[in-house]
Amino acid sequence: MPARVHLHTLRRRAGFTLIEVLLAITLTAMFTAFLAIWTLNAGRIYRGSTSLLDRSSRARLVMDLLTQDFQTALIRQRENETWLAVDVLTDGNNSGRWITAPGEKPAGDSLELAPRPDRGTDKIDPADYRFGQAGMWLRFFCMPQDRDVFTDQHDTPGDINAVGWQIIRTRPAPGAPEDSAGYQLFRTVVRADRTFDQGYQIDQYSGNTNPGEPGELKKPGENSLVCGQIVDLGVIILQRNDDGQLVEGFPNRHQSLSPLSDEHRYRAPQDGMPERMDIYVRILSHFGARELRAREQEHMDADAWWHVVDQDARIYMRSVNLKREL
């Protein structure tokens, strides 16, 4: 009889109680939630670090090239010559290569050349600057030190080249589908033996758009691509007024300087002699650029476009002091 009771007791204890089952379910749910949160955070950290590295590497490339070009600029103080031309491109028509999209960068809402300073700090937030739908178009004479893309040889020391910088919404590579179009930054270098074919008036260069020809300053070729994911480019030009003070000459021209003939154009030396260039570049990460391309395939208003950009893009700045007249 005792043996039967013992067997019966063992049989009753062979299963799990309701409390044990509920406890197991709770622990499993807690572990699953913890694992999901950990995985989500790990994904965010990976995306954040990858985006930071991506944007930073592009910013370094652009800033280093622009710094090199500006520091070797051919500065000439002769009224009948133009060694520097800067235009605010309020639309994408300049190059003739701009690929439109229903939700592309808005024209009117992408122009803010004189943002108001913060009331508390009296400083301007760099993110408040917007330099036009296609940013600023820069052209000037300089002595670039990089490899000559036409001869695969270094330029002879002292050679002068006309250089142009421009943002175009276009394909990342020849033959790519139109829905892959994004905001690409081009740097055109006119070959040294063709640079002065049209004199020292760099704002009037036109004609043949083949690689290395003067006309390519306006319509860059595929080989002039620096990198993609650049949604805005602009410069703040500082110059001396008659009192010797360093003030802004463009685009928000200081009141102590004579007015510009066109508020969206700057020509040197006619509008002054630049002493410092403050460069602003707005760069998307790979993830942000991919999201923006997808969103632009459908109509998107200006606020929505800038919301997507502001959530992902970063502003990079650098000041470059120009050397004296050569």
Mean pLDDT of all residues in the chain?
A: 86
User: Residue ranges per domain, the chain?
Assistant: 61-321
Q: Report how far Cα 171 is from the mean position of its chain's Cα atoms.
A: 16
Convert the pLDDT of each residue in 29-46 to its tens digit: 887 877 777 666 665 655
Instruction: Report d(CA 78, CA 247) in Å as an integer.
Output: 21
In sequence order, which residues have a C-beta less than 8 Å from that of residue 311 and are 6 or more positions away?
A: 288
- Maximum C-alpha span of the chain: 122
Tokens for 275, please give them: 């002493």
Q: Virtual CA dihedral for 149, 154, 156, 158, nearest 10 degrees?
A: 80
Residue scoring higher pLDDT (309 or 4): 309
Q: Is the pLDDT of residue 151 over 80?
A: no
Convert the pLDDT of each residue in 218-242 to its tens digit: 999 988 999 999 999 999 999 999 9
pLDDT for 259 equals: 96
Backbone φ, ψ for residue 71 (5° rounding) = -75, -15
Q: Is the pLDDT of residue 150 over 50?
A: no
Q: State the SS3 of the chain.
A: CHHHHHHHHHHHHCCCCHHHHHHHHHHHHHHHHHHHHHHHHHHHHHHHHHHHHHHHHHHHHHHHHHHHHHHCECCCCCCCCECEEEEECCCCCCCCCCCCCCCCCCCHHHEECCCCCCCCCCCCCHHHCEECCCCEEEEEEECCCCECCCCCCECCCCCCEEEEEEEEEECCCCCCCHHHCEEEEEEEECCHHHCCCCCCEHHHCCCCCCCCCHHHHCCCCHHHEEEECEEEEEEEEEEECCCCCEEEEECCCCCCCCCCCCCCEEEECCCCCEEEEEEEEEECCHHHHHHHHHHHCCCCCHHHHHHHHHHHCEEEEEEEECCCCC
Q: What is the mean pLDDT of residues 172-191?
A: 88
pLDDT for 272 equals: 94
pLDDT for 66 equals: 95
Model confidence band, residue 153 (pLDDT cutoffs 50, 70, 90): very low
Backbone φ, ψ for residue 224 (5° rounding) = -95, 0
Comparing CA positions, the residue from 285, 234, 246 lying closest to residue 111 is 234
Model confidence band, residue 77 (pLDDT cutoffs 50, 70, 90): confident
pLDDT for 229 equals: 94
pLDDT for 152 equals: 47
pLDDT for 155 equals: 47
Q: What is the mean pLDDT of residues 204-231?
A: 92
**Residue that is written with structure tokens 């070797």 in the block:** 72
Instruction: Report d(CA 249, CA 14) in Å as an integer.
Output: 88
Residue scoring higher pLDDT (26 or 256): 256
Q: How far is CA 77 from CA 117, 126, 160, 163, 217, in A?
A: 33, 31, 17, 19, 22
